[in-house]
């Protein structure tokens, strides 16, 4: 799945997530904030900081994070800013949870 396909998936899935997505702070925003076209360096950091401003005030962060972690477990794709975490932060979070389950 390409980045564009992931963005489309997000858009389509968002349309089905009415129960919690109706309350999302990012509802209706340009997905470029959460899926920067140039996903490296300062540009990416700028977008993550912008996205974080929305996630910090979002009432459904837990639901969003759980949704995206399930998606990433299923597809192995980790892209975009979801649940107030960067892809790298979610990877670390998932690893930590897996270690805690084993430990
Ligand atoms: S936590 Fe962030 S990405 Fe998830 S729904 Fe809320 S504002 Fe959007």
Name the residue of 14, 19, 26, 36 to mutate for ligand 1: max ligand atoms within 8 A of Cβ: 26
Would you say 81 and 34 are in contact if contact means Cβ atoms under 8 Å apart?
yes
* Mean per-residue pLDDT of the chain: 81
- The sign of the dihedral angle between the CA atoms of 88, 14, 47, 64 is negative
DSSP for 6-69 reads HHHHHHHHHHH-HHHHTT-TTTTS-GGGTS-SS-SHHHHHHHHHHHHHHHHT-TTHHHHHHHHH
pTM for the complete prediction? 0.79
Tell how far the Cα of 99 is from the centroid of ligand 1, in angstroms. Answer: 26
Which atom of ligand 1 is nearest the CA belonging to 20? 5
- Ligand 1 proximal residues by C-beta, below 6 Å: 24-26, 34, 54-55, 58, 60-61, 64, 82-84
Total domains in the chain come to 1
Cα torsion through 92, 96, 102, 103, rounded to 10: 140
What is the domain extent for residue 39?
Answer: 3-102
Q: What is the pLDDT of residues 38-53, one digit of tens each?
A: 667 777 788 889 999 9
Q: Which of 3-7, 35-39, 92-96 has the largest mean confidence?
A: 92-96
């Amino acid at each position: 799945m390409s980045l564009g396909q992931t963005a489309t998936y997000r858009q389509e899935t968002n349309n089905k997530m009415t129960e919690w997505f109706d309350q999302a702070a990012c509802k209706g925003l340009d997905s470029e904030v959460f899926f920067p076209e140039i996903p490296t360096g300062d540009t990416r950091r700028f977008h993550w900081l912008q996205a974080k401003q929305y996630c910090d005030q979002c009432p459904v962060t837990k639901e969003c994070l759980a949704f995206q972690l399930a998606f990433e477990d299923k597809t192995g794709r980790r892209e975009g800013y979801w649940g107030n975490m960067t892809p790298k932060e979610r990877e670390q979070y998932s690893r930590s949870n897996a270690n805690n389950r084993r430990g």
